[in-house]
Chains A and B, each alone.
Chain A
C-alpha cells in the first residue's frame, strides 16, 4: 500500500496510507488529509489511486501544487516524490517490493474493462464526489480491479526500470545476467583489421542476394543464423545449418569469402 508522509520543517507529523480511490487534500475539515494552513485552499488537490499507480491532481487551488519543485496540474506520482503545499511537505512512498510477489504472476493477465461496468462505476464515483468528471474513469478502473482482486506490483520494480540506461521494456527483465560484450574483427577483404562491436541485439552481416547472416545477442551468449542467399556462413571451416549456431570465443566465421574472428571483450 502506497502512503504519504506529512511533514513540516523536517518534522514528521503523520503517515497517511492511500487506501481510497480518491484521497482529497485541503484546508476544510471534510478533506481526507486536512492541512489547516491559510496557504492551502479549501479543496486543494486530490490523489486518485488505481491499482498501485497514484495520480495527483490540483483542484484549481489558489497557491498551486508543487511536486519536486515543479508546479503541476496533474502528476503521476513516483516513489519518493515530494509534494509541497505551503510550508507542508507530503512525501509519496510507493509499495515496498516485499509486499508483492505472491500475485505477481497473475498481474499481466489481460482483463477487460467493460464499458457498462465502467459507466456504472463512474456514475457511482460522480455521485460520491459530487461530480469531478475527469476523475471518473479512474475511479471506474479501480472499482473494476478491486472487484476482481487482481494485480499487485512493486513500485520498486519501476524504480529498477528507471535506472536501466536503455529505455527497457517494462516490466524490466528482472535480472539480466551481466554478459560479456562480443565483437568481430575482419581478417580478410578490403576492410581487414576493422572491428565491429556487437552491442545491439541483432547485427546483420553479408550482402543481400549473395548471403546474409545475423548475429544475435542473447542472455545465453551470441548466435549466428543464416538468413538468406545461397552462401551459408561457415564457422571454423564448417558450414552451419538452418538452426542458430552458438559462437565461442575466437571462432572464425567465413561469409561470402570474407573471414572474421568472433571474440569476447573482457
Chain B
C-alpha cells in the first residue's frame, strides 16, 4: 500500500554550532511508510560512515523486501505478522555491514551509530531503536516520549540513583549502552503502537533533546504543526540558539488519515489491479 498520501514527512539535519562534521543521517521512504534516523560515532569521519550505512542499508533493504511482501502478512510458521521480523532482519543486516567495515578498515575501527526506525502500516507504527535517539509523539495536544534511551543515564534513573531533575545536570549523557555496528550481533528494542489521524511523530537525535526542553519541543510541535517543514527547521534552530553543541536532526511524520490494511479477497484483487 502506498502511503505517500497518508503520511506527511519533513526532515532537517544540521551540524550544529560547534561541530564541523555532521555525523547524523536521516532517510525517509513515504511510499513504504518508513523513516530512519541515525546518530553516528567514531573518529575522523567514521561516525558519518556508520550512520550513513545504517540509513541506506535499512531503507534499501526494506524497499526490496516490501516490494514482494506486506508488513501485515502473516507468517504461516509462527502465525505472527512479519513486520517485526522483517525490520529486525534489516537492522541486523545494517549491524553486520557496519561491524564488518569497522573490522576490515583501520580508519573505521570502533565506529557505530544509534538508530531509530519507524515503520507505519495498517493504522499502526512499529518503532525499533538502539541508543539515545528518540521518538516522541504529539497526540490530542499531549506530547510524550515514546522510546526509552539505552544509556547509562537512563539506567541510573531507572535504578533510582538519580532523579530526572539531577539527570538534566548529569555529565555523562553521552554514554549509550546499545548501538548498531559495535558488536557482531545486536538486539534492537521494538514496540508497536496504534496511530491516530492527526498524530505527529518526532524522531530526533540527542542534539535536539539535550539542548531543548521537552516542554519547548512540544510547544513548537503544537504551534507549528500546520507546517511540518517549518516546524523541523524551527526545532533545529531552537537547538542551535541554545548552543547547538551537537549535530541536530529531526524527522516529523504526520498521520493524515486512517490507513487500514487491505485484507479481504476483493481488496487484494483491487490492489493487484492497481
A: which residues have CB within 8 A of B?
Answer: 50-53, 55, 74, 76, 105, 107-116, 118, 134, 137, 141, 144-145, 151, 153, 158, 161-162, 166-171, 173-174, 200-204, 208, 212, 214, 216, 218-219, 225, 227-229
Contact = CB atoms under 8 A, between A and B. Distances in A.
Which are the 6 A-B pairs with shortest beta-carbon distances?
A: A228-B226, A153-B171, A158-B169, A204-B223, A110-B41, A170-B168
Interface in B225-274: 226-227, 230, 234, 237-238, 241-243, 245-246
Interface of B: 18, 39, 41, 112, 114, 131-132, 152, 155, 159-163, 165-166, 168-179, 182-183, 206, 210-213, 216, 219-220, 223-224, 226-227, 230, 234, 237-238, 241-243, 245-246
B179 A112 contact: yes
B226 A227 contact: yes
A166 B165 CA distance: 12
Contacts of A115: 177-178, 183
Contact of B172 (A50, A116, A202): A50
A113 B175 contact: yes
Residue of A162, A169, A171, A225 ringed by the most chain B CB atoms within 10 A: A169
A153 B169 CA distance: 11
A113 B216 contact: no
8 contacts: A51-B171, A107-B174, A113-B177, A141-B175, A166-B213, A201-B219, A202-B223, A225-B234
Nearest to B133: A110
Nearest to B226: A228
Interface of B is mostly: loop
Given A105-B18, A108-B173, A218-B241, 16 more contacts: A76-B166, A108-B246, A109-B174, A112-B131, A112-B176, A113-B175, A145-B175, A151-B174, A158-B171, A170-B169, A171-B243, A173-B242, A201-B220, A227-B223, A227-B224, A228-B226
A202 B234 contact: yes
B147 to A, nearest CB: 16
A229 B226 CA distance: 9
Residue of A74, A218, A227 ringed by the most chain B CB atoms within 10 A: A227
Contacts of B131: 110, 112
Given A167-B213, A169-B210, A202-B223, A161 B169 contact: yes
B246 A227 contact: no
Contact of B160 (A50, A74, A107, A141): A74
Contacts of A161: 168-169
Given A55-B161, A201-B238, A110 B176 contact: yes
A108 B248 CA distance: 13
Nearest to B162: A76
A167 B206 CA distance: 18
Residue of A110, A112, A208, A225 ringed by the most chain B CB atoms within 10 A: A110
Contacts of B210: 108, 169, 171
Given A111-B41, A169-B211, A53 B172 contact: yes
Given A108-B210, A169-B210, A227-B230, A151 B172 contact: yes
